[in-house]
Structure 1
Amino acid sequence: MTRIGSRTTGRPTLAEVARLSGVSPITASRALRGVSTVAPELVEKVKLAATTLGYVANPAARALASAQSESIVVLIPSLSNQLFIETLEAVHEVMRPRGLEVLIGNYHYDIAEEENLIRNYLAYQPRGMLLTGFDRSEASKQMLSASGVPCVHMMELGLQEQGMSVGFSQQQAGAAAAQHLLERGCQRLGFIAAQLDPRVMQRAEGFRQALVAAGRYASELQVLSPQPSSIGLGGELFRQLLAEHGDVDGIFFCNDDLAQGAILEALRLGVKVPQQVAMVGFNDLPASAHMVPRLTSIRTPRAAIGRCAAQALLGLLDGKRGTVHNQDLGFELVVRESS
């Protein structure tokens, strides 16, 4: 009777899958990883053999054998934010044809949690990492530097010594929102923000600088909450600002969900938008185009960032260092009825 499975675990092995499908072990491995250079008919034969045997790949063993895994790590601060969902989908689309597995780490905007994720994922010897922004602990920076694992930063543009990045200027986006409200004739401009991660604060600084330059900055019209951003919170913060400063006539929200909540709260309070208060959001989430009134927002290239960052990382893996340190994908102010 022919023995099936490894001697130590009893599980089916890659060699047995290769033997049953009539290909070499390396071809079997590539077929199961989805490498596009393997002929479709061979892929089908290998997958059928794997199904017949009940074979499940062992990435830890593969990493041990090659001193490197076939995985890419993507670290993001939130899985509930539409922004990062679209970015992740784009990363998968780029990595899948190369047969690279995408491992996702969610650190909930907590740099200590991100540090633990980096430590744990580096133990699996990933081929590369996609990181969100540049704000992380010194221990994380040291681990990444010592590992030699290629990294690309997303969502922000960094300095030369910080490594390769793909994103846009958060500060310029904040300034663009301020300039738009000023051009609409707003005199008392407020800023409402939640979560308060580094990118939010960069937008706040761009907004502030533009207002200072125009002689319109009023620090008392800034409402900052450390709570997670949400529609409900947006309504609460808008109501708070209006109760304390009823003369505010223009508001920039750090995220669209906050602005959407404010629009709904304005409807409840009988506050006319934009006649009494003009509103501008950020990220241009799908629902913003369907609010009443439709929300003006700054559209961010979240899918393009994921796609270009993944392509840049593949370039590093292929030894193509390139000359572009920062890929600035820009942003777009989408003007609608709320302003």
Structure 2
Amino acid sequence: MKNSVERRRKAERGMQVKLSDVAKKVGVSPITISRALRNPEIVSEDLREEILRTVEEMGYIPNLAARALAGRHNGIVGVITPALHQYGFAALMIGIEDCFRGTEFTVQYSSTLHHSEGEAGLLKSILTQKPAGVVIAGAESYGDLLPLMASAACPIAHVTDLSQEPQSLVVGLDHYSAGAEPTRFLLSRGYSRIAFIGRGGDVRSRRRIAGYEAVMREAGLFQEALIIGGDAPSRVALGRELFSRLLERVPDVDAVFAQSDELAFGVLIECKARGIRVPEEVGICGFNDLEFSPFIEPSLTTVHLPRQDIGRRVADMLLRAIHDEPLEEDRVDCGFSIVPRGSTR
């Protein structure tokens, strides 16, 4: 009880203490304190120890900042993703959390919300906090990231399409193949007017579209009208809307390869609303193998990505790099698999 009261009083003091108060007690200018907190290496070891001792006594600096002052990192692992709210990335996060649970590190997430121009700004912001390491999951472009990575004082690991620039601390898959192979699968089941629905808003989606198009051209079946997308992120309602628009353009479409299981579910709902039999008249293949996909009727054929395993592997790779431990592999292809279910012949 006594300890908890002391901690509360210290926290209350910290809310009242100003940077100038710390500077006055140490005997330096506020700007020196501010700079030392951001870049401890610019001050002498004696001054750094005095600042650390003072801020701890006065309760001015949060624990993580104090830790950064005392050592080479603040104990945080930063994770940058395009979207935290989507099912696919949630599974990735679970894998990352599984690896770091029980370690000395805390995971901190940042999302670009699919705005690729914000990637470099987020990375720069995280690096100024002296993290122990960073995971960049699903970056759109590395053009602005590479200079920051080159000067970073911590290891940075990546979840990428394997065509992208990072050559080490990488876990990912070839999304071109992840677009081509499901298309071949649908052809092998007797479908020929195969559409691709979903936006090509990121490099992974565009690579899958390229794989789909290559296989359809090879079969002599490609039509621009069979590719249809939307500006909104993948949602069930968008799947219904896109399939309705597709039927207006290509009434005799007989299969759909969707960018996500949510879109595929929307296609299935629209088929039922129109009395279109699945899989006899239209086959449907999704992407991601989400939790609901085996349980809808008919169950959804889809592309399974080992997202939790990808999260665990990239986190383990980063953890080893932080501790300067040797890596068996520093570039891993986790692959994918097609899961045939009731929505295809």
TM-score range, shorter chain: 0.7 to 0.9
Q: Which amino acid aligns with 1:200?
A: S
Residue 7 of structure 1 deviates from its aligned partner by 9.2
Q: Is the 8 A contact 2:176 2:208 kept in 1?
A: yes
1:27 corresponding residue in structure 2: none
| CA distance in 1: counterparts of 2:210 and 2:329, whole angstroms | 26
Check if 1:102 corresponds to 2:107: yes
Q: What does 1:64-213 align with in structure 2 at a 5 Å threshold?
A: 64-136=69-141, 138-158=143-163, 162-194=167-199, 196-213=201-218
Indicate the percent of aligned positions where both proteins have the same amino acid. 30
1:22 corresponding residue in structure 2: none
Q: Which amino acid aligns with 2:305?
A: T
Q: Is the 8 A contact 1:234 1:261 kept in 2?
A: yes
| CA distance in 2: counterparts of 1:66 and 1:148, whole angstroms | 12
Residue 148 of structure 1 deviates from its aligned partner by 3.5
Q: Which amino acid aligns with 1:87?
A: L
2:291 corresponding residue in structure 1: 286
Structure 2 SS opposite 1:200: helix
Structure 2 stretches of 5 or more lacking a match? 16-58
Residue 8 of structure 1 deviates from its aligned partner by 11
2:248 corresponding residue in structure 1: 243
1:58 corresponding residue in structure 2: 63
Relative to structure 1, the CA distance from residue 254 to residue 161 in structure 2 (aligned partners, 3 Å threshold; closer, same or farther) is closer
Structure 1 SS opposite 2:113: coil
Which stretch has the larger CA shift, 144-153 or 122-131? Answer: 144-153
1:268 to 248, 254, 273: 273
Check if 1:223 corresponds to 2:255: no
| CA distance in 1: counterparts of 2:100 and 2:10, whole angstroms | 33
| CA distance in 2: counterparts of 1:308 and 1:325, whole angstroms | 10
Q: Which amino acid aligns with 2:90?
A: I
| CA distance in 2: counterparts of 1:107 and 1:176, whole angstroms | 30
1:253 corresponding residue in structure 2: 258
Residue 324 of structure 1 deviates from its aligned partner by 2.1
| CA distance in 1: counterparts of 2:193 and 2:311, whole angstroms | 37
Kindly tell me the number of residue pairs found equivalent between the two proteins: 295
Q: What is the aligned-residue RMSD (CA, Å)?
A: 2.4
Could you report, residue by residue, the CA deviation over 1:165-219 in whole angstroms, capped at 9, with x for unpaired residues?
A: 1122111111111011100111211100136211111111111111222222222
Q: Is the 8 A contact 2:80 2:110 kept in 1?
A: yes
Q: Which amino acid aligns with 1:228?
A: P
Q: Which amino acid aligns with 2:236?
A: I
Extract structure 1 runs of 4+ deviating beyond 6 A: 5-9
| CA distance in 2: counterparts of 1:223 and 1:57, whole angstroms | 50
Relative to structure 1, the CA distance from residue 96 to residue 57 in structure 2 (aligned partners, 3 Å threshold; closer, same or farther) is farther
| CA distance in 2: counterparts of 1:119 and 1:184, whole angstroms | 49
| CA distance in 1: counterparts of 2:235 and 2:222, whole angstroms | 26
Q: TM-score, normalised by structure 2?
A: 0.80
Relative to structure 1, the CA distance from residue 246 to residue 159 in structure 2 (aligned partners, 3 Å threshold; closer, same or farther) is closer
Relative to structure 1, the CA distance from residue 224 to residue 174 in structure 2 (aligned partners, 3 Å threshold; closer, same or farther) is same
Q: Is the 8 A contact 2:81 2:138 kept in 1?
A: no
Relative to structure 1, the CA distance from residue 262 to residue 7 in structure 2 (aligned partners, 3 Å threshold; closer, same or farther) is closer
Structure 2 SS opposite 1:67: coil
Q: What does 1:7-18 align with in structure 2 at a 5 Å threshold?
A: 10=13
Structure 2 SS opposite 1:191: strand
Residue 278 of structure 1 deviates from its aligned partner by 0.7
Q: TM-score, normalised by structure 1?
A: 0.81
Q: Is the 8 A contact 1:156 1:165 kept in 2?
A: no
